[in-house]
Amino acid sequence: MNSRNAIPCAAIQQQCGADREANLAATAELIEQAAGRGARLVVLQELHGTPYFCQTEDVAVFDLAEPVPGPTTSLLGELAAQHDIVIVGSVFERRLSGVYHNTAVVLDSDGSLAGRYRKMHIPDDPGFYEKFYFTPGDGSPESFRPIETSVGHLGVLVCWDQWYPEAARLMALAGAEVLIYPTAIGWDPNDDAGEQARQLDAWVTVQRSHAIANNLPVIAANRHGHEDAPSGDGPGIDFWGHSFICGPQGEFLARADGQGDQVLLATIDPARTESVRRIWPYLRDRRVDAYSELTRRVRD
């Protein structure tokens, strides 16, 4: 049975085109659907206002960046206040001339900006040239701190962060009640079916492992659909969707498939973390005296 602190939540899975205003209008409609179906926490995918522009390197793309607070946070704040919900969104943030971030923003149910998280792990791979665009978040003690909202303490991370157990663990140790991963990940269309299956399974498994290792629910919202390379040079990316919500033992609470815009709904109960940690006390048994070499790149 759910406790009275249980949170009805939604992960929004959406396809994005070239028209920013059309993308945000579609996002607003999906948010309204989620709120109408009872969600109090709504999680959007990574860079939901634009196509995934990191497939190529183009200095003109920096014109898409905006400040925080700015136009996107203003829109999301209005929607949060209108529907009395908490929204986790995503912004290509212009912090300063020459300094840009891939930033998750959290709008509380009164419309205020509750906090932001600047993506810490930045990939640089074929089709995912993010180091060209994004500066990592500052490596201060505040980098992996949950954001306090009216529905609880949200451990917000972004996409590539989802492959790093250190990020999830630091969020858990700082008191996060849920781990949240706005995401933009997909296949090279040239990958065969076996490789596609292995990649998708790895993506789901590593995030479920964070749930299990930290006794926390996880919300992962991914985009879907094919997006051509902006330059027209290359196969593009097939974003695989498959957003999901799981509980603190890695159990699936809701799963999307790879097709179509979807509002994925589930109820998470932070009180279950207390219950599960009493029988699987991983945090109690950590050998913090023996982990000093984790701060080194490799052990020589």
Give pLDDT tens digits for 205-224.
999 999 999 999 999 999 99
The pLDDT, as a whole number, for residue 76 is: 98
- pLDDT of 143 strictly over 90: no
Q: Which DSSP symbol is given to 269?
A: -
R_g of the chain, CA atoms, integer Å: 18
The pLDDT, as a whole number, for residue 3 is: 67
For the chain, which residues make up each domain, given as ranges?
7-280
Per the structure block, which two tokens stand in for 7? 């949170």
Question: For 84-192, where are the alpha helices, taking DSSP H only?
Answer: 165-173
Give pLDDT tens digits for 10-33.
999 999 999 999 999 999 999 999
What is the mean pLDDT of the segment spanning 138-167?
Answer: 93
Strands annotated E in the chain: 7-13, 41-43, 86-96, 99-107, 113-118, 124-125, 128-129, 147-149, 152-156, 178-183, 186-187, 218-222, 224-227, 237-240, 244-246, 252-255, 262-268
Looking at every residue in the chain, the average pLDDT score rounds to 95
The residue type at 233: D
What is the mean pLDDT of the segment spanning 147-170?
Answer: 97
User: Mind telling me the catalytic residues?
Assistant: 46, 119, 159
The pLDDT, as a whole number, for residue 2 is: 60
- pLDDT of 77 strictly over 70: yes
Per the structure block, which two tokens stand in for 18? 């070239």
Residue 79 to residue 159: CA distance in whole angstroms = 24
The fraction of the chain above a pLDDT of 70, given in percent, is: 98
- pLDDT of 191 strictly over 80: yes
The pLDDT, as a whole number, for residue 1 is: 46
End-to-end alpha carbon distance in the chain: 50
Question: What CATH superfamily classification does 7-280 receive?
Answer: Carbon-nitrogen hydrolase (3.60.110.10)
The pLDDT, as a whole number, for residue 300 is: 81
Q: What is the chain's length? A: 300
